[in-house]
Amino acid sequence: MHVVSPIRETLVLNGKSYHDVTEDICKQVEGKPTKEWKIVFGISVLVLLYGAAWVFWTWWEGLGVWGLNKTVGWAWDITNFVWWVGIGHAGTLISAVLLLFRQKWRTSINRAAEAMTIFAVICAASFIVMHMGRPWLAYFALPLPNTFGSLWVNFNSPLVWDVFAISTYFSVSCLFWYIGLIPDLATIRDRATGVRKKVYGALAIGWTGGARAWARYEDVSLILAGLSTPLVLSVHTIVSFDFATSVIPGWHTTIFPPYFVAGAIFSGFAMVQNLMLVTRVVYKMEDYVTMEHISLMNKIITLTGSVVGIAYITEFFIAAYSGVEYEQYAFINRATGPLWWSYWAMMTCNVISPQLFWFKKIRENILVSFVMAVVVNIGMWFERFVIIVTSLHRDYLPSSWTYFTPRMGDISDYIFSFGFFFTAFFLFAKFLPVINMAEVKSVLKSSSEKYPEKKKTTV
Amino acid sequence: MADSKYLVGVFDDGDELLHAVEDIRHQGVKIHEAYTPFAVHGLDRALGYSFPRMGVAAFLFGLTGTCCALLLTFWTMGVDWPINIGGKNFFPFPTNVPIMFELTVLLAAFGMSFTFFFMEDMGPTAKPIIFDVRSTDDKFVVAIDLAKNKLSEAEISKLLKESGASEVNVKEV
């Protein structure tokens, strides 16, 4: 039954037994918070408080605290939104798509990636609410009857599709994450006493690990993966429609949906790489998140980075080939205009630097992997900035051409999202198991180097 | 509640449990349920359970979602308050596909998951019977209700031991 090709790398090192897996991962949840955790958590909370004060000021004072002007009406707000949504794609992608493809290496990173997804989507949604300027009217985006103050929403608008797509994605991601957590919560419940037993017991909703429950559970997981895969693709497709259905040169492109989805996977994997590299050191998870995992993630980063690279070049070609003067100008202005530095930052970070991963030495260097993941996310932020701001700042009327300069409001509201993201992630990493114990145990036999030979051949 | 007596066989390995379940069922022993820390593939079949059909729930809820979305968009845009946008159709079908897709996925996912929780009697206040707390850690456990079996406790215990159980315990619930 458990036949594994000898060329496959082992996924769990140092001959861990089932009980070792439980011990190693539950230890983090059951123990007192470490000093390192308190320090990083404290910093995150401070950053969150600083950001929250600025968000409050943004709402109090209005969007004038941002650097927007009458030509550039969307800048950091939507850049941050698209950036966070893109990062929020990796979790469900790792869990759902890799589950459908039966990729066993997903088991030790999917939990943290899904958690990251949920927090990233919350960060993204916060920019949507912020950029409304009057957040107390956010309910106007919902299909409520006319007596609530507005007309019915216009279902022809991609912005309304976005409301549906993001909220569906958020709810389904939470559900997928929670369903994956149930068996592990039961493990913690069965080891605990007192209040912790009550809390984790309620969260585990009575899971026993019965064979019938497991059969249904696996069926539910597989179908959820099947539903989430088109969902994750649809979300960024719809985000790209926000631009693609407009008539702004530089936005009005049919290549946007696949290009945005590839970029989302790219930045999402980079963020997962960053978080996992830190978590594996802080929580001593080197036996679960191995060089093989890091290397595989880097390969996906290189692949998706190349896909976005081709998209950038295709955009240029299509602009030239279309013969539309405005379209052509938008692209030449992007690369050589006043915001040229952002274009070349994007090109260097996203297309050129990930190509270094073709070398095995670089791909398997932890420090380089970490730095590269940061570089990729900087590049992906610039990609959205380039698309949004360079397409807007020189419009059809040369007398209204401007430049965009961020103000404290832009920067601080962006910092707010980091504060929230890391606060939420550290809370998750303390109170919930960061690695899916049940799934790691299920691949232990086929993917652990030292599992007793006798047991490998019982079938 | 202490009115049922269960024999609990504890195994160290999933495949051993799987074979033991096949063996002892072959000997005519009725098994209450097997509990494992992770999904042991084939165990449900070995216990004689039918194929799980959560897909049916997903499909029906998904269909409900599609219909609700179609109804919502058609009624608001086509019937209740049609808006003239550049003289175009009041209800252009393709622009409503994203909404239909999202609501299909939303209802299918939540409908199926809550059907699963309902079928397994799961909820925040559920009081599960746990035959061996190690069954969510590293042990593979099979529970046999003695009242429902013709064989004696000693005979079943012997069968379990022979098929590889590392421990056989008695649990009354």
A458 touches B: beta carbon within 8 Å: yes
Instruction: Check B112 against A458: CB less than 8 A apart.
Output: no
Sort residue A284 into left (φ over 0), alpha (ψ -120 to 50) or beta. left
Instruction: Check A238 against B98: CB less than 8 A apart.
Output: yes
Percent of chain A with pLDDT over 70: 95
What is the predicted pLDDT for the residue at A366? 92
**pLDDT beyond 90 at A144:** no
pLDDT tens sequence across A406-449: 999 999 999 999 999 999 999 999 999 999 999 898 888 766 55
pLDDT band at A148 (very low <50, low <70, confident <90, very high): confident
Cβ atoms < 10 Å from Cβ of B124: 10
Sort residue A353 into left (φ over 0), alpha (ψ -120 to 50) or beta. alpha
What is the predicted pLDDT for the residue at A2? 52
What gap in Å lies between CA A46 and CA A35, rounded to an integer?
A: 17
pLDDT tens sequence across A300-359: 999 999 999 999 999 999 999 999 999 999 999 999 999 999 999 999 999 999 999 999
- What residue type is assigned to position A293 of the chain? H
Greatest distance between any 2 Cα atoms in chain A: 80
Q: Which residue in A19, A11, A110, A48 sits closest to A415, CA to CA? A: A48
B contacts of A197 (beta carbons < 8 Å): none
**pLDDT beyond 90 at A377:** yes
What gap in Å lies between CA B171 and CA B173, rounded to an integer?
A: 7
Report whether B80 contacts A152 (CB < 8 A). yes
Alpha-helical (H) ranges within B8-47 are 14-26, 43-46
Helix axes A437-447, A18-30, angle to 10 degrees: 150
Instruction: Check B43 against A234: CB less than 8 A apart.
Output: no
**pLDDT beyond 60 at A452:** no
Query: Quick one: CA torsion of B59, A103, A295, A228, rounded to 10 degrees?
Result: 0
pLDDT tens sequence across A114-137: 999 999 999 999 999 999 988 888
Q: Phi then psi for A307, rounded to 5 degrees?
A: -65, -45
**pLDDT beyond 90 at A57:** yes
- What's the ipTM? 0.93
B contacts of A1 (beta carbons < 8 Å): 15, 41-42
A142 touches B: beta carbon within 8 Å: no
What gap in Å lies between CA A319 and CA A156, rounded to an integer?
A: 27
What domains lie within chain B, and their CATH numbers? 5-51+130-172 (3.30.70), 54-119 (no CATH)
pLDDT band at A8 (very low <50, low <70, confident <90, very high): low
Question: CB-based burial of residue A397 (10 Å sphere; 0-12 exposed, 13-18 middle, 19+ buried)?
Answer: exposed
To the nearest whole angstrom, how far is the Cα of B154 from the nearest Cα of chain A? Answer: 25
Mention every residue, 6+ apart, whose C-beta is less than 8 A from residue A151.
B81, B83
Q: Which two tokens stand for residue A146?
A: 């006319």
What gap in Å lies between CA B11 and CA B29, rounded to an integer?
A: 17
Instruction: Check A220 against B54: CB less than 8 A apart.
Output: yes
Report whether A401 contacts A393 (CB < 8 A). yes
Chain A residue at shortest CA distance from B32: A210
Beta bridge mates, B10: B141, B167
Q: Which of A155, A179, A186 sits opposite B113 (nearest CB)?
A: A179
Helix (H) or strand (E) holding B35: strand B33-35
pLDDT tens sequence across B2-26: 578 899 999 998 888 999 999 899 8
Q: Which of A152, A205, A437 sits opposite B122 (nearest CB)?
A: A205
B contacts of A161 (beta carbons < 8 Å): 98-99, 102
Q: Which of B36, B41, B116 sits opposite A209 (nearest CB)?
A: B36
What is the predicted pLDDT for the residue at A459? 36
What gap in Å lies between CA A373 and CA B132, rounded to an integer?
A: 44
What gap in Å lies between CA A329 and CA A373, rounded to an integer?
A: 32
Instruction: Check A441 against B37: CB less than 8 A apart.
Output: yes
Cβ atoms < 10 Å from Cβ of B92: 14
Chain B residue at shortest CA distance from A150: B81
Average pLDDT, chain A: 89
Instruction: Check B40 against A171: CB less than 8 A apart.
Output: no
DSSP output for A271-308: HHHHHHHHHHHHTT-TTTS-HHHHHHHHHHHHHHHHHH
Worst-scoring range by mean pLDDT, A37-46, A51-60, A278-287?
A278-287
A155 touches B: beta carbon within 8 Å: yes
Mean pLDDT computed over A380-401: 93
B112 touches A: beta carbon within 8 Å: yes
A156 touches B: beta carbon within 8 Å: yes
B130 touches A: beta carbon within 8 Å: yes
What gap in Å lies between CA B173 and CA B170, rounded to an integer?
A: 10
Q: Which residue in B45, B64, B150 sits closest to B106, CA to CA? A: B64
User: Which 8-state DSSP code applies to residue B8?
Assistant: E
Greatest distance between any 2 Cα atoms in chain B: 84
Mention every residue, 6+ apart, whose C-beta is less than 8 A from residue B133.
A190, A191
Q: How many beta-carbon pairs below 8 A join chains A and B?
A: 198
**pLDDT beyond 60 at A455:** no
Query: Quick one: CA torsion of A241, A244, A247, A250, rounded to 10 degrees?
Result: 140
We find that the CATH architecture of domain A18-456 is: Up-down Bundle (1.20)
A171 touches B: beta carbon within 8 Å: yes
Q: How many residues does chain B have?
A: 173
What is the predicted pLDDT for the residue at A401? 94
What gap in Å lies between CA A397 and CA A259, rounded to an integer?
A: 29
B30: three-class secondary structure by DSSP: coil
pLDDT tens sequence across A209-251: 999 999 999 999 999 999 999 999 999 999 999 999 998 999 9
B124 touches A: beta carbon within 8 Å: yes
To the nearest whole angstrom, how far is the Cα of B131 from the nearest Cα of chain A? Answer: 9
Percent of chain A with pLDDT over 90: 69
Gyration radius of chain B's alpha carbons:
25
What gap in Å lies between CA B36 and CA B140, rounded to an integer?
A: 5
A contacts of B41 (beta carbons < 8 Å): 1
pLDDT band at B91 (very low <50, low <70, confident <90, very high): confident
pTM score over 0.90: yes
B123 touches A: beta carbon within 8 Å: yes
What is the predicted pLDDT for the residue at B3? 74
Beta bridge mates, B170: B7
To the nearest whole angstrom, how far is the Cα of A304 from the nearest Cα of chain B? Answer: 25
A contacts of B47 (beta carbons < 8 Å): 211-212
**pLDDT beyond 90 at A450:** no
What gap in Å lies between CA A244 and CA A226, rounded to an integer?
A: 27
Mention every residue, 6+ apart, whose C-beta is less than 8 A from residue A389.
A72, A75, A79, A339, A342, A404
Report whether B113 contacts A179 (CB < 8 A). yes
Mean pLDDT computed over A56-64: 93
Q: Phi then psi for A244, rounded to 5 degrees?
A: -65, -30
A378 touches B: beta carbon within 8 Å: no
What is the predicted pLDDT for the residue at A454? 41
Beta bridge mates, B140: B11
B33 touches A: beta carbon within 8 Å: yes
B contacts of A148 (beta carbons < 8 Å): none
B4: three-class secondary structure by DSSP: coil
Question: CB-based burial of residue A334 (10 Å sphere; 0-12 exposed, 13-18 middle, 19+ buried)?
Answer: buried
B contacts of A19 (beta carbons < 8 Å): 137-138
B contacts of A149 (beta carbons < 8 Å): none
Q: Which of B54, B105, B130 sits opposite A190 (nearest CB)?
A: B130
Mean pLDDT computed over A16-42: 89
